Structure 1
Amino acid sequence: MTLKEEFATRNFSIYGQWLGILSMILCFALGIANIFSFNAFLLIFSIITLIFSFIILFIEVPLLLRICPTSSSFDAAIRRVSTNYMRAGAYAVMGIVNWLSIIARASSLIAAAVFLSITAACYLLAGIKGQAFVGSKTLGGAGVAQMIV
């Protein structure tokens, strides 16, 4: 199944997975960009956003749990985020934390908050519609990653 065919299935979990990858890239880039601000609270939110990018990476690409040396408690925590509702909740929490960065100062972290919120909405819609989580084959959803993990 090609990427175009995956998007044509209208399964919101695939949309959520790809938006999660986009959110990860944004969290990483904007986290680094805002580290160099002179606001202490914004610095804290930047570091938290950077941490979110790595958490999202492990959530969306499960093969990395086998490749990267991580603790068993971290692996267990990431594996708990496997259903659409759990993913929606995780992204919602990350989005809310990034929305709270406005308290420190309005910055480009708002873009990460917007994409995290949209990703949470996609996973929530997949859960509400009763769509089973379907991982993208491009990201190892039905291939080697599922057999290993």
Structure 2
Amino acid sequence: MKFDFVKELTSGQCTIYGQWFAIISSILFLIFAPANILGILMLHAAESLQGILDLVFGCGIILLEIPIFLKCVPSSPKFDELIKFFEKNSMRAVLYAAIAVVNWLFEFNGALTAFILPTITITCSAISYGIATFKNEERVTSSLTGTSNLVDLASRV
């Protein structure tokens, strides 16, 4: 098994672009959220609320975009239905657009925060999934994040 990441990025598959933008933004959300949550100590309630929301968003995006993490989380039939609901490109585009709108509202409410970068990347993810929806692309995941490839890689180590 060979990971050909460069070929994936040059494939023109908008779902792969959307997936990677979402993964990058979730990592950035998880990095910046704790600092903003601590903003409540400095009486910045809006920044603290944004930090809490983005911590939840970051964890949710990781579960949606990297399938192997779903194996680590106890699931229920309702949880499985929710995950299946967001398997379509159009639903992911709507979800990520909603997350982007919430973050843009926080950014334009006051001074720009560190969340501007993940807000831009989640917006790019929503746009990528939206384009994939209009092009009627099948959902394709990156070989670096697919469950079977990671399990194969882990079994070789």
Q: What is the TM-score normalised by the length of structure 2? A: 0.84
Mark the CA change 1:19 to 1:127 in structure 2 (over 3 Å): closer, same or farther. same
Code of the aligned partner of 1:51: V
Partner in structure 2 of residue 118 of structure 1:
124
Preserved CA contact (<8 Å) 1:24 1:54: yes
Contact in 1 for aligned 2:37/2:47 (Cα 8 Å) = yes
| Deviation (angstroms), 1:143 | 4.7
Count, aligned residues: 145
Residue 16 (1) aligns with residue 21 (2): no
1:63 paired with 2:68, answer yes
Aligned partners of 2:144 and 2:150 also within 8 Å: no
**TM-score, normalization by structure 1:** 0.88
Identity %: 30
**Are positions 1:45 and 2:50 aligned together?**
yes
Question: What's the secondary structure of 1:108's corresponding residue?
Answer: coil
For 1:66, the aligned partner's letter is K
CA RMSD of aligned residues (A): 1.9
The alignment status of 1:99 with 2:104, answered yes or no, reads yes
Are the structure 2 counterparts of residues 4 and 19 from structure 1 closer, same or farther at C-alpha, using a change threshold of 3 Å? same
Query: Are the structure 2 counterparts of residues 120 and 27 from structure 1 closer, same or farther at C-alpha, using a change threshold of 3 Å?
Result: same
For the residue of structure 1 that corresponds to 2:113, the secondary structure is coil
Larger radius of gyration: 2
Structure 2 residue 87 is the aligned partner of structure 1 residue 82:
yes
Gaps of 5+ in 1: none
Structure 1 residue 70: Cα displacement: 3.6
